[in-house]
Structure 1
């Protein structure tokens, strides 16, 4: 037996009545009268040649045949709602860009520049996920990621965003800072580090300072936490220029003597190479690559 279009309204009335076990409540849900629901159900019973409900004074109850059809109708409605919800979500998200990035870069470099993007593209919406772990570009996940690394990852397209430079910083109020006049003197201070692959030993080696015992007293997983620790006077932190810029501008941190060492890793914008970017994500990528980095 084929399912004709004119059966759909009767099936919808039946499915609602079966859930509520009540024609009046089904009518309220469907904006119909109880008698209209009853009419749809009777029409369905007549076409199928079976009784779907037992009618009695206190209401209605499904028959065995009615329960069988109710289970199938409920499953079909749930499947339809899932598909419709997915289509609706895809439509609603057409103007949303999902971005994964490091918390340190988002807080100190990206956020101060986002008002420029918002002014140029007020119709687009942005969602950010800040984490250290590498992004998984699952379906429904990030469109773009900003990564700090060597610039090549299997299966990803990578665009250079900017380079970086490392140098030591400390709070201007740190005791005895006036006596720190050369790179070797920095080793006298308690040192704050983060999980960057390029750390204090690399900087002192590049600065020509050797044979010194380093007091790496505090370690943080996030670069902004390390900078905040230095700003609160715990010691000297090895700063990345892009992340430290607002701290230096606000005079919460002071650059210490010694060279700026080019970072071995740079910042890149990446996305899966096997699938095209959605239009909204392409707009944000183009803006990122064009925005002034300094």
Structure 2
């Protein structure tokens, strides 16, 4: 038997009620009355011929049937949203997941050429803290993204933008207080990083050192915060060398080794696998991959 749901609004109300577990909160989020929330839930239960919630003192609690339905409703509404966004993309809209420092120090100064090439392209920028590749449903966040790492992300088409070299940097005052002349001197320093310590682990290994469990370190929220913390003398950082050229020239940062180091880390363009990307998404990707040549020359 085919069950016909006469009102999609009831499905939407059910979904929000599942997420909140509370009629009052669901009504606030949907900007409708509590009685309307109750009406739509009751209507859906009548159409299906079963109870979806148990009403308790703490709020709404899903029944077995409600739990089963909630899983399908969440997936279904997500697919509808993705479809709507893909249709919108046909009109020239692209959602891009960006890393703030990459945006400010590389992308922003080059977007003019993209706009000249594709004047009808509409860009929607969404910042993330290097989390796009780990999102449960990345395509609902953006059509494509820039991610820092080694490129080993399943579920994405991955394009390495260019090879990187890393600079070890700190403030002049920090260097004066913590002399650094050889790699093992960093054992006495506070190592600053974002996400995790994998970059430092790799750097230490490449310099024939092992990770010290008692190493002083500080994890920061994003690269901009890491940069300001390094300038303010909180410790030593690893940065893609081109990102800190300006600070090294001005003298607010110094490179105690006077050279840069090889790394397996890099910036990548990543596109969630699944449906074929829209034409505007392909246009953005093609442009970005063409633009990467000049940067690759500068980092070699």
Question: Given the two structures, how large is their TM-score scaled by the length of structure 1?
Answer: 0.58
* Cα distance in 2 for residues equivalent to 1:250 and 1:93: 45
**Is 2:102 the partner of 1:105?**
yes
- Name the counterpart of 2:31: none
What's the secondary structure of 1:187's corresponding residue? helix
Q: CA deviation at 1:152?
A: 4.3
- Would the aligned equivalents of 2:157 and 2:271 in 1 still touch at CA under 8 Å? yes
Structure-to-structure mapping, 1:33-182, within 5 angstroms: 90=87, 94-131=91-128, 132-133=130-131, 134=133, 135=135, 136-138=137-139, 141-174=141-174, 176=176, 179-182=179-182
Specify which structure has the higher proportion of helix.
2
Q: Give, in whole Å, the separation in 1 of the partners of 2:84 and 2:215.
A: 57
8 Å contact kept, 2:149–2:267: yes
Counterpart position of 1:254? 254
- What CA RMSD, in Å, does the superposition of the two structures yield over aligned residues? 3.5
| Equivalent position of 1:235 in the other structure | 235
Report how far residue 123 of structure 1 moved.
3.1
Change in 2 beyond 3 A, CA 1:253/1:110: farther
- The alpha-carbon deviation at position 238 of structure 1 amounts to 2.0
Distance 1:221 1:169, change over 3 A: same
CA distance in 2, matches of 1:175, 1:187: 14
Distance 2:153 2:85 in 1: 33
Larger Rg: 1
Which residue number corresponds to residue 41 of structure 1?
Answer: none
The runs of at least 4 consecutive aligned structure 1 residues that moved more than 4 Å come to 86-93, 209-215
2: CA distance, partners of 1:230 / 1:105: 18
Change (3 A) 1:271 1:167: same
Give the CA deviation at 1:169: 0.2
Using the TM superposition, give the Cα deviation of residue 285 of structure 1 relative to its aligned residue in structure 2, in angstroms. 0.7
**Secondary structure in 2 matching 1:275:** coil
Deviation for aligned residue 1:195? 2.0
Q: Say if 1:121 and 1:202 are closer, same or farther in 2 by CA, change over 3 A.
A: same
Residue number in structure 2 paired with 1:285: 285
Question: What's the TM-score, normalizing by structure 2?
Answer: 0.57
CA contact (8 A) 2:89 2:278 kept: no
SS of the equivalent of 1:285 reads helix
Deviation at 1:237, TM superposition (A): 1.2
Mapped to 1, the partners of 2:254 and 2:224 lie a distance apart of 15
What per-residue deviation string (whole Å, max 9, x for no partner) do you get for residues 258-290 of structure 1? 763332333221223332222222121111111
Q: CA deviation at 1:209?
A: 4.5
| 3-state SS of paired residue (2:161) | strand
CA–CA distance in structure 2, aligned partners of residues 208 and 155 of structure 1: 34
Structure 1 residues 209 and 99: CA distance shift in structure 2, 3 A? same
CA-CA distance at 1:257 after TM superposition: 0.9
Residue of structure 1 equivalent to 2:199: 199
Distance 1:258 1:200 in 2: 18
Is this contact kept in 1: 2:90–2:279, CA < 8 A? no
Q: 1:200 to 1:288 in 2, by over 3 A?
A: same
The answer to whether the 8 A contact 1:187-1:213 is kept is: no
Decide whether the 8 Å contact of 2:171 with 2:232 is kept in 1.
yes
